[in-house]
Amino acid sequence: MEDGSTGASGEAQAAADGSRRPITRAQLHVVAVLGFCGLVSAADNWFVSPALPAIARGLSVLPAAATVVLTAYMVPYGALQPVCGAIADRVGRLRLLRAIVLGLCAGTVLCAAAPSLELLVAARILMGCFAAGIISVSQAFVGDVVEPARRGGAVGMLMGITFTGQGLSAGLGGILTELVGWRVAFASFGILAAAAWILLSTLREPDGAGSRTSGGSGSVSAAGGGCSRTSGGSGGVSAAGGHGRADGTAGEARARAASGRRGTGAERPVVAFLAAAVRIFLGPHRAVFLLACSTGVLFLGVYGLMGTFLNAVCGLGSTEAGLVMMLYGVFCLVGGALSGRLGGRLGLPGVIAVGEASAVAAACALLASAATASWVPALVAAGCLGLGYILVQPTLVTLSMDADPERAGLCTGLIGSGVFIGGGVGSALGGLLLGAGGYLVLWGVAAAGLAVQLAASRRLLG
């Protein structure tokens, strides 16, 4: 028993030491390229919000009617994330990323040329369908090339870069639209998407990616240099369970099981996909996926209504409000850089708790802003919300990979779907609360909801 406990403590110490070591240069290259792809997809979505009045004028429609272009992007963006993750598990992460980034580029250019609201909506739907897979597939790709001990920090860095685009685009979108017009703004983001597609050519599919579903092992090399890890398909602390590949009997059993799953999927792929998604979502890791849904409702719901709050209560114009909200993106980047160190000290549940506490502080700052009609507390709120979101969402992604390591793309896609569909629900519920009691009631309910999520995550995740 002593030997067993000593071995377990040694593995735990090794994992802790690994989490404190920085990722390699080759792994950093992968994270930077995929982060830029995510940045473009996030900016493509959120820059439209301050540009809506100009779009409405350009297409001769009411501003209220023009808001449909936001929904046209967000619905397929959220709904198709697990689908894209499952496809990537079968055809390869990088192959799918190249296709969908190119599709995002084409859709953005079509938006710039759309002569009517109907065609603009159609182009935005196309953009949402292609953009849906960028974040979830990139997260799974990072999981392929970064060993479990350092994966949380790498995913946090990826999402920090990605959501910097979300924060910065709120301010830059308004400025760019005022200077050159919304059509040129769309075209500019199309050029950025083309640049992201070119950068993907510097990456390689991880070695053994095709055998992912059968627990393929070996050295993973995703960027022209030695970005390697010992895989076992595992996304968490139980990675040691995949070290028995030398045991031929166990390996054959896994291969037969994987072959059976592939056969079922080939015969009825839709049924197999839905069954796998339900099994993963409602399985032993369901707390992680439910927390992703509440994160979308509360975090993105609050963020989505901040712009109108700054305009209606604090008297800021769209460009000024966007500049305040840019602090969200700055702290997303800061939080992404810090998440790995926090994970090494506090563990992944501790990182989530810090992020949720930061979001509670953001809601309290918005309450102060609503009570005083000052934008200064809202500036604090934007920073705290960005920091909180980037600590919570990527960490949930990392935890989700343990739900089914052989279907990591589907797992990360389910997190993205829960977050962004939850964000749509949060915006709708926020509108109802706003109509019923104003911003004080809205931010008060948000603060209470975030406090409940903090308590629940501490209980469920430990």
* Contact call for residues 414 and 281 (beta carbons, < 8 A): yes
* Contact call for residues 158 and 339 (beta carbons, < 8 A): no
pLDDT in tens, 142-155: 888 888 878 877 88
- How far is Cα 70 from Cα 405, in angstroms, rounded to an integer? 33
pLDDT of residue 194: 95
How many C-beta atoms surround the C-beta of residue 420 within 10 A? 23
Instruction: Say whether pLDDT at 291 is over 60.
Output: yes
pLDDT in tens, 341-392: 888 889 999 999 999 999 999 999 999 999 999 999 999 999 999 999 989 9
Instruction: Say whether pLDDT at 234 is over 50.
Output: no
pLDDT of residue 160: 77
Which of 417, 408, 302, 432 is CA-nearest to residue 364? 302
pTM exceeding the 0.85 threshold for the entire prediction: no
pLDDT in tens, 82-135: 888 778 878 888 999 999 999 999 999 999 999 999 999 999 999 989 998 898
pLDDT in tens, 399-447: 998 898 888 778 888 888 888 888 777 877 887 888 888 899 999 999 9
pLDDT of residue 20: 54
Identify the band that residue 228 occupies on the pLDDT scale cut at 50, 70 and 90: very low
- Mean pLDDT within 227-240: 37
Instruction: Say whether pLDDT at 65 is over 70.
Output: yes
**Which range scores top for mean pLDDT: 33-47, 209-223, 304-318?**
33-47
pLDDT of residue 216: 38
What residues contact 34, with CB distance under 8 A and at least 6 apart? 97, 138, 141, 142, 158, 203
pLDDT of residue 64: 63
Report which of residues 228 and 174 the model is more confident about. Answer: 174
